[in-house]
Structure 1
Amino acid sequence: MPAYLSAHGINGKKQNQTLQTVAAHNTREIQAELRGGPGARIDPSRVHLNRTLAGPETAEEIVASHARILEMFGAQPKRKDQITLIEVVADPGQQLENPMAFFEAAKDWLVCWYDCPLLHAVVHYDEAAPHMHCLLVPVRDGRLQGDAIMGKRGDLARMQRDFQATVCKRFGIDPPPKMSAAERKRASLQIIDALIRQGARLSADQKHQLAQALQTAADFPSLVAAFSTAKPTPIGVEKPSKKAA
């Protein structure tokens, strides 16, 4: 099964996507997430298996380190909606003989690819599949450049190819299958059906507009994987909208 790679910019506009919240989630300091039970994503009995690859051990220290990096580079945000953090999630998509070697290689590759400071990296073994969260501070030339560092659609596609060729191939992970236009259309309709089953109320026009947006979204493979609607193209990259950049 192919690997999964997703990236998104964090600007703090959403309450569950602030630096503090992301850091607390990654370090397992949100008690509501650790209750366990049916349907829980995190198994509290396995939290001790998680491994920090880089950066501080606590959310408070991560936030403080982020502030120090911005101060060191003289790169303070000029707008409230400016991207101040990039989070990348990497999952090999299969069992590996040495998963930590894959995660270390993925972390090192991400640092080289983004060419900006690494704030934190942790591997989670307490969910259904082992995966890594990397937090990077999008600073270049003394400025926060989240949108530029995230890149455009062509840059994101190139990132996917390079990750596969540089990291995944080394660990015998198959490249992602290509999805035809028909497959993308079918998967988008299945995502909409899943949303409706979860309580979303959409008019016929809204369904049509959403289907069109999904089929052309840069993060479409990630959406497919999240809703488990079809065989995904797992190496996907999420890019925030221009309004959030």
Structure 2
Amino acid sequence: MAADIAYFAAKTVSMSKVNGRKPCDLLTAARHNLREIQAELGSVGRIDPGRSATNAILAGPAEAAQVQALAVDLLAAAGLKPAAMRRDHVQALEFVFSLPPSCGVDPATYFARCLAWLMEALPLPVLSAVSHADELAPHLHVLLLPLADGVHVGGKPVERPKLLRLRDGFFNVVAGPAGLQRESAKLRGQAKRWAVTAVLTRCEAMGLPAVNGPLWPVLMAAIERDPTAAVRALGIELSAQKDRQTQAEPNPIGIEGTTMSSKANPIGIEKQGEKIQSLSCVGIDSKTPLKTAPASRPGRAPAMPEPAHKDSSGAGADGIGKRNVIESLDDLWQRVGIRAMALPKIGRAGALLADKTAAGRTDRLSVARAAQLEAIARQTRKQPAPVLADPDDDRHVDRSEAQDLHAWND
């Protein structure tokens, strides 16, 4: 059997029309609660006038005009005048507590607890509290004046975060101990589609389409719009379907065909298999194998080969000898390689050297040598001529070294 659901709601009583809401003033709300609106007592309304005598006033005056007068007096005591306030100001806060029909809970006791809890959870002046037994489900209307410590607080006490806390407190303190449950959220998406299918299947098994005849399409449309009430009435459990849905591996980021398992790779990072890369405090540990350099791309010079291991005589393991050892500048130029290129502007020495090249051909080695000679000549011209030391001086300059210096300066 489906569990009994408690109902708790709150709204502001105001003449505001924001977001298409229907304006309502305090006097009209009080007249409805006290059954002073004759149009609501007709045969087309939901109110059964024959049972209106069983309604009870738990707090506040017995007439709507007196309820409004009470609110004016409380505002005046705080130095406020309704005529001077905005036309769409919040005149009252209305709370509704309802019980499902034939739930087995005593309405009088339950509504008394609801009023006591509300007065403690939200200490605002109570304008009216009336319980109704002349409609399908018994319920309680409570009107509070939004006046806290002499300040008009408007609709702040029922703003969404505060209202959620009030609802949690109500179900923990009042509805829960009374054996009632909270109304679940409206079914949506896959859960809604499954609920509609389950309800229609149960109805087919019970033969309801044939029994209801022309009314069945209307009932089916209502079920497809919101199957929550039908699920509750038929006692259908949705937990089994929820368990089947949660057995599948979740896919929180929406990548098709993959799940968040040990083999999933949702963000495209390439895995290295079972290899573990150990890191030291300053980088990669020496035990970790490093990747070799990629092959040379077209148009790039090949990587320099590593020199072969040499023995004490200087010969390599391949017996070539000192071929892999660079011993002079000329050897370096030969190792770098010769490639043809255009002659840049390198000065007089380079131009002369280019003229002497056979058939006007030049190469990178010639250009480099010419640039080197030009740099050496430019550097030596900046150095002062050496002064030979006096024989009697303690300092001594070798004659051969002095001659070499003169030769460089010439």
Find the counterpart in structure 1 of residue 126 from structure 2: 118
- Identical counterparts, % of pairs: 34
What is the distance in 2 between the residues matched to 1:26 and 1:129? 15
Q: Distance in 2 between matches of 1:6 and 1:114?
A: 14
Name 2:51's counterpart in structure 1.
46
Q: CA RMSD in A?
A: 2.3
Q: Counterpart of 1:231? A: 228
Q: Which secondary structure state, in structure 2, belongs to the residue aligned with residue 171 of structure 1?
A: coil
**Aligned 1:1-245 pairs, distance under 5 A:** 1-13=4-16, 17-35=24-42, 37=43, 39-77=44-82, 78-94=85-101, 95-151=103-159, 153-179=160-186, 181-182=188-189, 229-231=226-228
Contact 2:16–2:89 (8 Å) recurs in 1: no
Secondary structure (helix, strand or coil) at the match of 2:189 reads: helix
Are the aligned partners of 2:59 and 2:127 in contact in 1 as well (CA < 8 Å)? yes
Q: TM-score, normalised by structure 2?
A: 0.43
Give the structure with higher Rg (CA).
2
1:142 offset after TM fit, Å?
1.3
Aligned-residue offset at 1:136: 0.2
Number of positions where the alignment pairs a residue of Structure 1 with one of Structure 2? 188
Task: Report which of the two has the higher share of strand.
Answer: 1
Name whichever structure is richer in helix by fraction. 1
Note if contact 2:187-2:228 (Cα within 8 Å) is conserved in structure 1: no
DSSP-derived class of the 2:100 partner: coil
CA gap of 1:184–1:126, structure 2 versus 1, over 3 A, is farther
Displacement of 1:109 after TM fit? 1.2
**Alignment deviations for residues 215-237 of structure 1 (CA, whole Å, 9 cap, x no partner):** xxxxxxxxxxxxx93427xxxxx
1:102-154, CA deviations, whole angstroms, 9 ceiling, x for partnerless residues?
10111111112222111100001111111000000011131111222222x22
- Secondary structure, counterpart of 1:106 in structure 2: helix
Counterpart Cα distance in 1 of 2:162 and 2:66:
32
The one-letter code matched in structure 1 to 2:104 is L
Structure 2 unpaired stretches of 5+: 194-224, 230-410
On the 8 A contact 1:62/1:120 being kept in 2, the answer is: yes
For 1:45 and 1:53, the matched residues in 2 are separated by 20
How far has the Cα of 1:160 moved from its partner?
1.4
State the alpha-carbon separation in 2 of the partners of residues 6 and 76 from structure 1: 29
Q: Which has the higher contact order (CA 8 A, sep 6+)?
A: 1
SS in structure 1 of the partner of residue 96 of structure 2? strand
